[in-house]
Structure 1
Amino acid sequence: MDYQKMTLDELKDDLIRVARGGYPVFIAGALYWLAMGVLGLIIEGKTLALCYLLGVGSIFPLGLLLGRLLKADLMSRNPLGALSGIVGGIQAFFLPLWIVIYIEHFELIPFAIGLLAGSHFLPYIWIYRSRTYLFLTLSMATASFFLGYIFDQLAFSVLPFVLTAIYLATAAGLAAESRQAAQQPS
């Protein structure tokens, strides 16, 4: 594919089709949040918060694996795919903050991971022309703030299950958007 000769809209259309909106990453994310919710039924406190920190790094590699299985090219050579990767890579810079929060106030880890992870998806609204990414960003930020901070006693028990549902709804929405884009003439 000659990306040099494509317009911005054509690049977006291509990325939506080949990466399928990135929806496999949200299946992986749903599995992460579900696992954290289940772990919250078994363990608690600083140990559980450490599981959150260590587990969050599994989402992208698992998303890549699921992408291969679901025929979504999450590593597309499309220049907007590179931009998408850079935007996704922003989360690596959140790790020092999450570590400090873990050390100082471990009980805020679900809030911090949920809020920052949700917020980093904002640029994907434009990249993928997606209302689903708007839903994701707003709902994750809102749920994380209220269930992870305001009603912090629910941070480890309810928030992960709410975020699981948000991730599953996002995966379904992105899959539907990518199917619709695939039906459009190139």
Structure 2
Amino acid sequence: MDMTTELLDVRRATYARLRGGYPVILAGMIYWLALAALSPFMEPIALLQAAFPLSGAIFPLALVLAWITRNSFMKDRTALSPVLLPTFIAMLLFWPMLLIAAAEASPGVVMSILAIGLSLHWPVIGWTYGRTALYCGHAIARAMLVLWIFHAYPDQRMLLIPLAVAACYGVTAIIVFIDSAMAARRLGLMSDAKGVAPAA
């Protein structure tokens, strides 16, 4: 077995074992649903002031969901694990752009940057799972939806953008849950499927 094939096998096994990180996906969906629910009751600036710190709750919420579902993704280690830190650092670099926009641009622009920026790590996460197309598809669909809403519904951006992103998460979670279960079954991991292990 050559190194490329061996690496692909590791990636696919990780995806099946961790169920594609679905607790993290569900946590992201809950975050964006919360912003959509708050939108009618808060001024745009106030909503953004809540959105920034609340984004820090996504990962702790994912840990809670992982505990509930017995999906111990934090304990899982493979040869690919070291790539996660630079992946998340690269994603977090959008925050200076976001803060500059918050100081100079409209709330709709800021919400759009937040919605797209929090998906910058998805393509690499998808690669580590051997599901590049699926996770890239989420990120691209999300970006295109945000762009469309920004231009088509300028007065509803603060509501529709969070709703659209939450919908992307929901659809992706369903696909990942089903696909990873099928992958686990193929690899004989279904005994672990509910719990062993689950990625904004």
- Asked if these proteins are the same fold (TM beyond 0.5), I'd say yes
Pair 86,173 (structure 1): closer, same or farther in 2 beyond 3 Å:
farther
Pair 62,70 (structure 1): closer, same or farther in 2 beyond 3 Å:
same
State the TM-score, normalized to the length of structure 1: 0.86
Q: Which letter does structure 1 place at the counterpart of 2:81?
A: G
- Secondary structure at the counterpart of residue 14 of structure 2: helix
| Aligned pairs, number | 181
What is the CA distance between 1:125 and its match in structure 2? 3.1
* Alignment correspondent of 2:110: 109
Matched ranges for 1:79-98 at <5 A: 79-98=79-98
Pair 61,89 (structure 1): closer, same or farther in 2 beyond 3 Å:
farther
* Alignment correspondent of 1:53: 52
Q: CA RMSD in A?
A: 2.1
Whether contact under 8 Å (1:52, 1:109) holds in the other structure is no
* Alignment correspondent of 1:118: 119
* Alignment correspondent of 1:185: 187
What is the CA distance between 1:102 and its match in structure 2? 1.4
1:165 corresponds to 2:164: no
Greater Cα offset, 53-62 or 124-133: 124-133
Q: Which letter does structure 2 place at the counterpart of 1:179?
A: A
Structure 1 unpaired stretches of 5+: 1-5
Greater Cα offset, 82-91 or 22-31: 82-91
What is the CA distance between 1:169 and its match in structure 2? 0.8
Greater Cα offset, 124-133 or 43-52: 124-133
State the TM-score, normalized to the length of structure 2: 0.81
Q: Which letter does structure 2 place at the counterpart of 1:103?
A: A
In 2, the alpha carbon distance for the partners of 1:62 and 1:32 equals: 9
Pair 26,17 (structure 1): closer, same or farther in 2 beyond 3 Å:
same
Structure with larger RCO (C-alpha < 8 A, sep 6+)? 2
* Pick aligned residue for 1:153 from 155, 178, 186: 155
Pair 141,85 (structure 1): closer, same or farther in 2 beyond 3 Å:
same
What is the CA distance between 1:160 and its match in structure 2? 0.8
Structure 2 unpaired stretches of 5+: 189-200
